[in-house]
Amino acid sequence: MTSTGRGRTIGRVLLGGFLAFAGTSHLTFARQEFQAQVPEWFPVGDDATVLGSGVVEIALGSALIATPPRHRGLVGWLAAAFFVAIFPGNISQYLTHTDGFGLDTDTKRGVRLLFQPLLVLWALWSTGAWSEHRQRRTTPSD
């Protein structure tokens, strides 16, 4: 099953554009801002983490936009996994009261945490990944 429909296409392209822009900002104008958000406990240096995550975001964003329909489900799962993987950093930002990107209160940082699961769902829905998974589970194997 492939992801179809205008709404899903728009959602997938918007998410891809958002990720590509965010990744580009990691590598350029917002690099220092992102470095301030890397948790102290993370075993990789701040700059390497920001650069690496920026490259991953650009790759995921591009893949969301350009991947052929038969592989979109996989890209959706990869994007969802990425959003899950960076969630501990967002939690750390809340717990350590670290300011960044206008998130200068615990309330703002807390609201941001609530949106992370929505990004996971957006990736799965817009690529048809979740629908594809459900169909495979209900379709008998040959």
Residue 142, in any domain of the structure: no
Cα separation, 106 vs 94, in Å, equals 6
Residue 25, in any domain of the structure: yes
Domain count, the chain: 1
* pLDDT digits 0-9 by tens, 56-96: 999 999 999 999 999 999 999 999 999 999 999 999 999 99
Residue 136, in any domain of the structure: no
Range of the domain at 116: 6-125
Residue 43, in any domain of the structure: yes
At residue 76, what are phi and psi to the nearest 5 degrees? Answer: -60, -45
Q: Is the pLDDT of residue 2 over 50?
A: no
Residue 40, in any domain of the structure: yes
Task: Round the CA-based radius of gyration of the chain to a whole number and report it.
Answer: 16
Residue 23, in any domain of the structure: yes
Number of Cβ within a 10 Å radius of residue 116: 14
Number of Cβ within a 10 Å radius of residue 131: 18
* pLDDT digits 0-9 by tens, 86-126: 999 999 999 999 998 889 999 999 999 999 999 999 999 99
Residue 141, in any domain of the structure: no
Supply the mean pLDDT for the chain. 92
Cα separation, 48 vs 27, in Å, equals 10
Residue 119, in any domain of the structure: yes
